[in-house]
Each structure stands twice: as C-alpha cells, then as structure tokens.
Amino acid sequence: MSCNENLVRVGTRKSPLAMVQTNTVVQRLQDIFPDKEFEIIPMSTTGDNILDTALAKIGEKSLFTKELELCLQKGEVDFVVHSFKDLPTTLPPGLVIGTVYKRDDEHDAVVMHPKHKGKTLETLPKGSVVGTSSLRRIAQLQRKFPHLIYSDIRGNLNTRFKKLDEGDKYDCIVLAVAGLERMGWSHRIDQKLLPNTCMYAVSQGALAIECRGNDKATLQMLSTLSDYESSLRCVAERAFLKTLEGGCSVPVCVHTEIWKNQMYIRGGVFSLDGKEGYVDSNMKDLPSDDEPPRKKRASMREDGFLCVVPTGYDPEAFARAEEAGIELAQKIIKAGGGEMLQLIKAKMAADIIAEKTRKEALRKVAEASTVNVTADACC
C-alpha cells in the first residue's frame, strides 16, 4: 500500500479494453471498501508499442506485462489488472496472483466484414482471408476450414475493427468473446467457436489481479473478489501449459469444466500448419466437504499454485487442479506432443532471428539514406 493508507494505486495497460476491465475491478472494490481511494495508472507495454511484427516473431516474454510488473516491484502501484491469458506461468520474484476475477465467456468469436454479414467460416467463399494474430487459432482453424487464408492482424480491438470494416484485406477476424462483450460489442459476433472447433487459450476470459506476495493488506482486500471455480480452472490450465513448456504464442489450447466436484481438462498441441495434433483429456476428483484436509500439502504451498494464492480456499483443491493439468501435459508429451513442440520452438526461434535481421537491414538502409541526404544538402 502507499503511505496514505486509504489510497490504492492500480496499474493497467492503456488500451480501451484494459481500461474497461480495470474500471470493472476498481468499481467492485470501491463498493466493498467505500473508504478507499483508487487511482488508476495507465501504462504502455512492449506489446502495445510493437505493431508491425507478428507476436510470435518479436522474441520477448511478458510482452503485455513487463512494464506493469516493474512498477509493481518498485512499489509504484499496489496491484495490476491483467487479461490472465497474457501472464506467463512464472512471475517475477515476489509477485503473485492475489485474485482470479470471475471468468467471462472463454470462447473465441468470428466477426465478419459487413459484406459477409450472416455468413460463418463454413460458408465463406474459398480464399477468404481470416485475420488473427494467434498461432493457436490458425492451427486449429486450418484443420477445419482449409479453404480459407489466415493472415496476421495486430492492434487493439478498435484498431482491428477499423482494419476489418474500412479495408479490403480481411473478410473476417477472430477475437475473444469476453473482450467483445466487455466492450459492448457482442452484437458484432457472427459465430461463436465452441471447443470441438477451436479450443481456447489458457486462462482466456479471466482477469488476474497481480500484487506483491508480502503485501498482506492488498492480498486481503483482493481476496474479496476471488472466484473459486475460475481460480481452479485457470490453475489446471496454467499447469498444463507450464508442463508443456509452452507460451502464449505457441499453438497450445484447452477446455476445462468442473462437474460434480470433478475437474475436467481437455487440451491439445498442434503443428503450425494444423496438419498434426495431439489432443487428450484428464479428470481429477476435487476434495469433498467431509474429506479431512491435508495440512502438509497446504503448508508446502503457501506461495500459491502457478502463482495463484488460494486465500480463503482449501489448498488441496488447488493442488488437485494443478495435478490434473500436469498429468494431461505428461500424457500429450509421451504421445509425441513434446517432440513436436520442440520443433515448433526451433522454427519460431529461427523466424525471430530472421525478423531481427530484416529489421536491422532496414535500419541500416534508412541510416545510409539519411547520411546521403545530409551530404547532398551540404553540397
């Protein structure tokens, strides 16, 4: 907390969607803690500033979180609101997920160009261009809709809508349902992609509130917003991703549900062209009300599960959700998914080097042109 005990400083990205999400969280906290004063501090991140390169070719981790986390570590803000899918499975030292806010619709959606209103991916003409910056989406959709062309698109939601509606490059774009609904644009959804067509990204649709692990006052405050089911599902999904040693740019996808005290997780790994894939599922019983607590496990995991702090909940449930994700990943690795992921990472690393080389060559050409122009001016 800041020196003023009633002032709480909240970090967020500057994008319109990030601001809407942060305002939602702050308003809930303001209702619960009317004596607190909340100050929202918007920031730009590396991912916000690099818009001319596909995410998979940038070659940096924490693209949308690094700058925010540095401010958090320095004590310049008390907590940060993130789209949970942007957060790596390992956080910087001293930082934790203090709360997982109730998850919204986790699925992907297709938004059509106005000229294709009423169509679906199945009915789009052959050669239609689908805009998405997600390798996960491309890999899965190419398997189902090989008659379409997939092209990278960057920018915040407003920018992507403008590129779609006012240009001729894209026939449709694929976005997260949650983001569209939070922005009040659910009327633009032409098709929702269910898991049998396109499984979603790890933690998609959930908001993570990150804070310092030793800030007990902030942790206690944030615990009032924690959603039990959303937390368990995200822990299982993040355990799956971490065990695969994947990242938010790798074509890894999931689908989770909690049925009658059981954690169900289905997940997949696909080649970049979508032609190969490994998909499997796993089920894990969650502890029942009459089951005795395992205090040893609880005391061992006070630092959280995949950095999620189970404040006020049974740590045993979080441990089993984590196990569900780990076991599923191990099954897929054993089946051949691990080897395929290594090939994907090698290909992506080569692409990153090639992109950096290309940009460096362009920079040198630009510098040479500037020198020549200056020399001509002197003459």
Active site residues: 86
**Angstrom distance (rounded) from CA 311 to CA 298:** 11
Task: Give a three-class secondary structure readout of the chain.
Answer: CCCCCCEEEEEEECCHHHHHHHHHHHHHHHHHCCCCEEEEEEECCHHHHCCCCCHHHCCCCCCCCHHHHHHHHHCCCCEEEEEHHHCCCCCCCCEEEEEEECCCCCCEEEEECHHHCCCCCCCCCCCCEEECCCHHHHHHHHHHCCCCEEECCCCCHHHHHHHHHHCCCCCEEEEEHHHHHHCCCHHHCCEEECCCCCCECCCCCCEEEEEECCCHHHHHHHHHHCCHHHHHHHHHHHHHHHHHCCCCCCCEEEEEEEECCEEEEEEEEECCCCCCEEEEEEEEECCCCCCCCCHHHHHHCCCCECCECCCCCCHHHHHHHHHHHHHHHHHHHHHHHHHHHHHHHHHHHHHHHHHHHHHHHHHHHHHHHHHHHHHHHHC
CA 266 distance to own-chain centroid: 18
Cβ atoms of 142 and 151 within 8 Å: the answer is no
Supply 279's token pair: 């998909």
Tokens 């983001």 found at: 179
**Angstrom distance (rounded) from CA 342 to CA 351:** 14
